[in-house]
């Protein structure tokens, strides 16, 4: 399938932070509100038990557990976002190219071969520098990640849940409820911006 058009862009930490907030609001805010209502009800019932029988531990246990879970439910997304922003601020800025086809999207990372780089390991708990001579470096050498796997991602429209949103000068492409591609409009010409809008509108993805 022939390529329709492509755009090249980068994203500053604050722009990614705004997009990540939109991602959280879209996919987790409703669940958080439901959990909040449920645990507030448990807290009210727990307090009621304490008032009726302050010697019974049931009311204290229910109230304490519900309050703890409720607090965790609201604090965790904030700490995750803070850790993500810290990680992004420590990494070099990257430039991307998004290619638009009739049946798919591809995103490629443009690597500056002349820039100084450092090896990093990406894990579920964060991104860490791989020290020379460390066990992490040995493991990475034994199980190398192919460069093309890092540089290019392919999203077939028929297999990917995609939603497009425009907000505060940023195009945001939500992918499979797990990832968001941040495309600042400052990186695009007026013609490119209209091409992007038209593409997602014609595909019914906005």
pLDDT by residue for the chain (206 residues), tens only, comes to 688 999 999 988 888 888 888 888 887 777 788 888 998 999 999 998 899 888 888 889 989 999 998 888 888 777 877 776 676 665 556 788 999 999 999 998 876 544 444 444 444 444 445 555 555 555 555 555 444 445 688 999 999 999 999 988 999 999 888 888 899 999 999 999 999 999 999 998 87
pTM score over 0.75 = no
Residue pair 69/39 in contact (Cβ under 8 Å)? The answer is yes
Q: What is the pLDDT of residue 74?
A: 81
Kindly give the pairing relationship between strand 104-110 and strand 126-129.
Answer: unpaired
Report which secondary-structure segment, H or E, holds 37: helix 29-52
Q: What is the pLDDT of residue 95?
A: 87
Give the whole-angstrom CA distance, residue 21 versus residue 68: 23
DSSP 8-class letter at 158:
T
Say whether 38 sits in a helix, a strand or coil. helix
């Amino acid at each position: 399938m022939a390529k329709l058009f492509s755009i090249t862009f980068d994203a500053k930490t604050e722009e990614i932070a705004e997009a990540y907030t939109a991602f959280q609001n879209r996919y987790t805010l409703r669940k958080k509100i439901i959990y909040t209502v449920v645990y507030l009800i448990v807290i009210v019932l727990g307090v009621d038990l304490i008032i009726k029988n302050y010697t019974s531990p049931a009311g204290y246990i229910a109230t304490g557990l519900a309050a703890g879970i409720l607090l965790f439910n609201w604090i965790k997304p904030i700490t995750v976002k803070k850790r993500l922003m810290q990680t992004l601020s420590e990494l070099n800025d990257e430039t991307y190219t998004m290619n638009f086809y009739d049946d798919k999207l591809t995103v490629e990372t443009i690597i500056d071969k002349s820039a100084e780089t450092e090896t990093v390991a990406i894990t579920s708990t964060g991104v860490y520098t791989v020290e020379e001579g460390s066990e992490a470096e040995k493991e990475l050498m034994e199980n190398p990640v192919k460069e093309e796997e890092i540089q290019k991602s392919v999203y077939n429209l028929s297999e990917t849940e995609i939603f497009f949103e425009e907000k505060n000068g940023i195009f945001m492409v939500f992918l499979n409820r797990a990832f968001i591609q941040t495309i600042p409009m400052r990186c695009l010409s007026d013609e490119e911006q209209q091409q992007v809008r038209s593409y997602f509108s014609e595909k019914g993805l906005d």
